[in-house]
């Protein structure tokens, strides 16, 4: 059992959980994830490590409430326990001194890009952060990222804060200004990562994305997380989660993410009925 030592509501529908998991915290690196199962009858869901602290023995997860399991998770509070937390899984981000790097985080991707920004900064890079959300109230971790990045740019879809528009507009403007950018990371909804990659393709700047297909076992056995990269089948849990975004078959990823939409809706509706009593 894994105890939740801190729980915060970060924004509407986004919860932070700091969990006591010393063995995972000791080994964790930027870019990795865990798979959790809340209780014996629960499904397994992957969540990226938003932070880890080997001294305290804790890991931090940030989850957007989208369906049954993330809503069930959202009912837990400090002191409650999670049955299984497996990890760290996936390959860590390849951290190096690249020079000038841009890290783009969209929505919940903002939480997961923090460890990468921090590791890149510690390795001597000039880190430019671009974060975006639908509206100001959904924007998380601005202060934390201001403390890490050399520059931070913000966009909101509705113009309630920062640039009115998408992260891709801000990215394109920065690239057009002509400063050399050596490498880009983009983490967020698949559709956002797809359009970041479309934007950066013409500038020929390597763009790394963290893919989020449906996962089950997280160990390369079930094949649920297969994606197509450079025309080859890859299992995101063991070969990724990070890949060269210019080589990803985005349409396949987007369609595979929708495969169980009807069953997910059914299961969420049953859960809501149960909660209402």
- Kindly list the residues in this chain that would bind ligand FES in the complex (CB under 6 A): 215-218, 220-225, 235, 237
- Residue 241 touches which member of ligand FAD, ligand FES, none, C-beta under 5-8 Å by kind: ligand FAD
**Binding string to ligand FAD for residues 195 to 214, with x set by CB under 6 A, is what?**
-----------------xxx
- Residue 218 touches which member of ligand FAD, ligand FES, none, C-beta under 5-8 Å by kind: ligand FES
Q: Which of 165, 168, 213 is nearest to 194 (CA)?
A: 168
Q: Is residue 221 near ligand FAD by the rule CB under 6 A? A: no
Q: Which stretch binds ligand FAD (CB under 6 A): 57-65, 95-103, 122-130, 192-200?
A: 57-65
Binding ligand FAD by CB under 6 A: which of 58, 60, 70, 156? 70
What would the two tokens of residue 3 be? 């105890």
Q: Is residue 135 near ligand FAD by the rule CB under 6 A? A: no
Q: Is residue 64 near ligand FAD by the rule CB under 6 A? A: yes
Q: How far is the CB of 172 from ligand FAD (least distance, A)?
A: 26
Q: Is residue 67 near ligand FAD by the rule CB under 6 A? A: yes
Phi then psi dihedrals of residue 225, to 5 deg: -95, 20
Number of other residues whose CB lies within 10 A of the CB of residue 203:
13
Let me know how many helices (H) and strands (E) the chain has, helices first. 9, 16
Q: Which of 167, 172, 134 is nearest to 152 (CA)?
A: 167
C-alpha dihedral (234, 237, 240, 246), degrees to nearest 10: 50
The rounded distance, in Å, linking the Cα atoms of 268 and 219 is 26
Q: Which is nearer to ligand FES, 192 or 225 (CB)?
A: 225
- Residue 220 touches which member of ligand FAD, ligand FES, none, C-beta under 5-8 Å by kind: ligand FES
The rounded distance, in Å, linking the Cα atoms of 103 and 94 is 14
């Amino acid at each position: 059992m894994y105890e939740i030592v801190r729980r915060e509501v970060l924004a509407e529908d986004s919860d932070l959980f700091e969990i006591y998991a010393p063995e995972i915290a000791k080994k964790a690196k930027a870019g990795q994830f865990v798979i959790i199962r809340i209780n014996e009858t629960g499904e397994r869901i992957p969540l990226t490590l938003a932070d880890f602290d080997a001294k305290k023995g804790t890991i931090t997860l940030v989850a957007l409430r989208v369906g049954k399991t993330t809503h069930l998770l959202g009912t837990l509070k400090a002191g409650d326990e999670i049955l299984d937390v497996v990890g760290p899984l996936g390959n860590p981000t390849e951290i190096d001194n690249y020079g000038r790097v841009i890290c783009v985080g969209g929505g919940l991707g903002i939480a997961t890009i923090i460890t990468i920004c921090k590791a890149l900064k510690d390795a001597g890079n000039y880190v430019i952060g671009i974060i975006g959300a639908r509206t100001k109230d959904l924007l998380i971790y601005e202060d934390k990222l201001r403390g890490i990045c050399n520059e931070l740019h913000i966009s909101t879809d509705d113009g309630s804060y920062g640039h009115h528009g998408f992260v891709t507009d801000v990215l394109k403007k920065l690239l057009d200004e002509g400063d050399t950018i050596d490498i880009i990371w983009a983490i967020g909804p698949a559709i956002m990562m797809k359009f970041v990659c479309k934007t950066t393709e013409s500038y020929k700047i390597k763009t790394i994305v963290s893919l989020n297909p449906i996962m089950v076992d997280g160990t390369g056995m079930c094949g649920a997380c297969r994606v197509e990269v450079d025309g080859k089948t890859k299992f995101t849990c063991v070969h990724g989660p990070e890949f060269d975004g210019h080589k990803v078959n985005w349409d396949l990823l987007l369609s595979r993410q929708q495969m169980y939409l009807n069953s997910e809706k059914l299961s969420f509706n049953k859960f809501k009925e149960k909660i209402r009593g």
